[in-house]
Homo-oligomer: A and B are copies of this chain.
């Protein structure tokens, strides 16, 4: 299959290829215009705490859909989708430690599992680019730089920790536009949480992100920080929850929802 062909496939068609094992790599750039989502799957015993954590920390953990316990179907995000097969790569966590990566998780499925689909900054990056704002890590073909801050999450049950942020350097004259564009998309993290002062949120070295890759910051630019969907994943791992499934980084669920619908 060629890249051109992928570009013209619908999310439904791409998900079928993922389910068939024909696509097992990262989803970046697939189905332009359509939102991609993070996945967290937990036993129902922990689902109330995690849902409450999400509601209390909506900026970093914007819920797009939650399944019924045991259910693998979605009602809104994907026609005929199956959360246990339609992501290219999954991770299994046991007692907070990753124990394996799999192209489907049918063999791990249980009747008490609840799936959370969580908004992703891919959606607002497309809006930024269409607004004439360069997204540096895309230009430089790197992963977005992410940093663990000292901004406390509001805890819920076993989930706590601090906020993880993603960073994009923005030329100073364009910062108001970058804020305005993303503020209109609260389901995919919304407005920045910090502009230009990493030290104020506990980031010591902008050149050494905790996740992803460092990117160039040029004269006349400021680093701008947005709440990041890695926050709930960090909280999940640090909780030591006995069993969880997530997507593997970069291997997202491709939804039927256009980014523009998330405004």
A136–B52 alpha-carbon span in the complex (Å): 37
Asked if A262 is an interface residue, CB under 8 A from chain B, the answer is: no
A236–B117 alpha-carbon span in the complex (Å): 26
> Chain B's nearest CB lies how many Å from the CB of A76?
9
> Chain B's nearest CB lies how many Å from the CB of A168?
25
Of B47, B154, B186, the contact of A48 (CB 8 Å cutoff): B47
Q: State the oligomeric state as a number of copies.
A: 2
Of B44, B55, B156, the contact of A55 (CB 8 Å cutoff): B55
Which residues A36-56 have CB closer than 8 A to chain B? 44, 47-48, 51-52, 55-56
**Closest residue of B by beta carbon distance from A52:** B66
Asked if A141 is an interface residue, CB under 8 A from chain B, the answer is: no
Asked if A63 is an interface residue, CB under 8 A from chain B, the answer is: yes
Asked if A75 is an interface residue, CB under 8 A from chain B, the answer is: yes
Q: Count A interface residues, CB 8 Å.
A: 15
A52 cross-chain contacts in B, Cβ below 8 A? 51, 66
Contact A44 B48 (CB under 8 A): yes
A47–B56 alpha-carbon span in the complex (Å): 15
> Chain B's nearest CB lies how many Å from the CB of A147?
26
Of B55, B66, B75, the contact of A63 (CB 8 Å cutoff): B55
Which residues A51-68 have CB closer than 8 A to chain B? 51-52, 55-56, 63, 66, 68
A63 cross-chain contacts in B, Cβ below 8 A? 55
A75–B63 alpha-carbon span in the complex (Å): 22
> Chain B's nearest CB lies how many Å from the CB of A186?
8
A154–B68 alpha-carbon span in the complex (Å): 11
Contact A55 B51 (CB under 8 A): yes
- What sequence of 0s and 1s flags, for each residue 120-133 of chain A, a beta carbon within 8 Å of any chain B beta carbon? 00000000000000
Which residues A4-50 have CB closer than 8 A to chain B? 44, 47-48
- What sequence of 0s and 1s flags, for each residue 164-207 of chain A, a beta carbon within 8 Å of any chain B beta carbon? 00000000000000000000001000000000000000000000
A156 cross-chain contacts in B, Cβ below 8 A? 68
Residues of A within 8 A of B (CB): 44, 47-48, 51-52, 55-56, 63, 66, 68, 75, 154, 156-157, 186
For this complex, 8 residue pairs linking A to B, each with C-beta atoms less than 8 Å apart, are A47-B48, A51-B51, A51-B55, A52-B66, A55-B55, A68-B157, A75-B154, A186-B186
9 A-B pairs closest in CB distance: A48-B48, A51-B51, A55-B63, A52-B66, A47-B48, A55-B66, A51-B52, A48-B51, A55-B55
